[in-house]
Amino acid sequence: MTVLLWGALPYIVFVLLVTGLLWRYHYDQFGWTTRSSEVYESKLLAVASPMFHYGILFVLAGHIMGLFVPASWTNALGLGEHAYHLLSLYGGGAAGLLAIAGILMLVYRRRTNAPVFRATTANDKLMYVFLLGAIAAGLVAKFTHSTPSHGYDYRTTIAPWARSLFTLSPDTALMAEAPLAYRVHAVIGMVLFALIPFTRLVHMFSAPLQYLFRPYIVYRARDPRRLGARPKEPRGWERVDT
């Protein structure tokens, strides 16, 4: 079990994520969108959506820092163990709370606003379960294992394990020692990553940063191959709308 969860699952997730993204990019450009529901309801969304998105972006930044920046580096920068812990607890906690408040409002909106609910697919619901689950489990893990003075130091167990994944020699024993709450959070999180290419979450990979650098007006020549009929391409994606 230890090997399966901490030695095999990460790689399965990675393969699913990469091949899934490539597959979707190739076959489902048309389905690759945010599927925004803002035209149905905008008042609640205007508060909830930025809350969630900014929250989750900070959470992401925190995870990258916590997992992939070794403690020795932050120590070298003069950020001591305790200072780091406080940053992680208050900064990460605040971002997590922001994200979960945002997503709870979004779920509430989805459930109570008839047009938005009608536009919610089974795929969306599955995604919401894991997304909400991952955030909630993360917050539980953090808050049940920390006090302001002391907290569980995942930088001696989880982070080295995460980094050992890159050297293809996963140190599964490290993970087996981690508290249960952290392990649950990690598993839900990994499943969520595997789901990204197959749900609307895929829109995160089209964050339009290139917009900052391109000229305003785009000119394009007609594609001569598109003048006639376009061949039907085989699609690997089933219809999900109702």
Partner 1 sequence: MRVMAQIAMVMNLDKCIGCHTCSVTCKETWTNRKGMEYVWFNNVETRPGQGYPRRYEDQEKWRGGWVLNKRGHLALKQGGRIRRLATIFSNPVLPTIKDYYEPWTYDYRDLTNAPLGDDFPVAAPRSLISGKPMKIEWSSNWDDDLGGAPEHGGSDPVVTKLRDEIGHRIAFAFEETFMFYLPRICEHCLNPACGASCPSGAIYKREEDGIVLVDQDRCRGWRQCVTGCPYKKVYFNHRTGKAEKCTLCYPRVEVGLPTVCSETCVGRLRYLGVVLYDADRVTAAASVPDEKDLYEAQLDCFLDPDDPEVARAAERDGVPHDWIEAARRSPVRALISTYRVALPLHPEYRTLPMVWYIPPLSPVVEALTETGFDGEDAGNLFGAIDALRIPLEYLAELFTAGDTRPVRASLERLAAMRAFMRDVNLGREPDTSGVLAAGLTPETTEDMYRLLAVAKYEDRYVIPTAAAGDARRLEESALPDECSLDQAGGPGAYEHGPFGDDSGRTSLPLVTLENFHLLSRRQRSDKQEDL
Q: Is residue 37 near partner 1 by the rule CB under 8 A?
A: yes
Pick from 22, 115, 150, 156 the residue near partner 1 by CB under 8 A.
115
CA distance 63 to 40: 34
Which residues, numbered 49-68, are part of the site for partner 1 (CB under 8 A)?
A: 49-50, 52-54
CB of 241: closest distance to partner 1 in angstroms?
Answer: 5
What's the CA gap between 116 and 120, in Å, rounded? 7
**Minimum CB–partner distance for residue 99 and partner 1 (Å):** 12
**CB nearer to partner 1: pick between 166 and 216:** 216
Select the span of 43-51, 77-85, 93-101, 158-166 touching partner 1 (CB under 8 A): 43-51
Is residue 119 involved in binding partner 1 (CB under 8 A)? yes
Residue 226 to residue 183: CA distance in whole angstroms:
51
In the complex, what is the shortest distance from the CB of residue 234 to partner 1, in angstroms, rounded to a whole number?
Answer: 5
Is residue 40 involved in binding partner 1 (CB under 8 A)?
yes
Distance CA 162, CA 175 (A): 9
How far apart are alpha carbons 201 and 131 in whole angstroms?
A: 10
Query: Could you tell me which stretch among 5-13, 71-79, 111-119, 179-187 binds partner 1 (CB under 8 A)?
Result: 111-119
* Span from 40-48, 154-162, 172-180, 183-191 in contact with partner 1 (CB under 8 A): 40-48
Residue among 68, 33, 45, 70 nearest 203 (CA)? 33
111 binding partner 1? (CB under 8 A) = no
Residue whose pair of structure tokens reads 């997304």 in the numeric block: 131
157 counts as binding partner 1 under rule CB under 8 A: no
- Determine the distance from the C-alpha atom of residue 150 to the mean position of all C-alpha atoms in its chain, rounded to a whole number: 28
**Measured between alpha carbons, how far is 156 from 173 in angstroms, rounded to an integer?**
12
CB-nearer residue toward partner 1: 147 or 210: 210
* CA nearest to 186, candidates 13, 28, 34: 13
Collapsing DSSP to helix, strand or coil, 3 comes out as helix
Q: What is the DSSP string of 105-117?
A: HHHHHHHHSHHHH
Q: Which positions from 189 through 208 interact with partner 1, judged by CB under 8 A? A: 203, 206, 208
Q: Which residues bind partner 1 (CB under 8 A)?
A: 28-42, 45-46, 49-50, 52-54, 114-115, 118-119, 203, 206, 208-212, 214, 216-222, 224-225, 227-235, 237-241
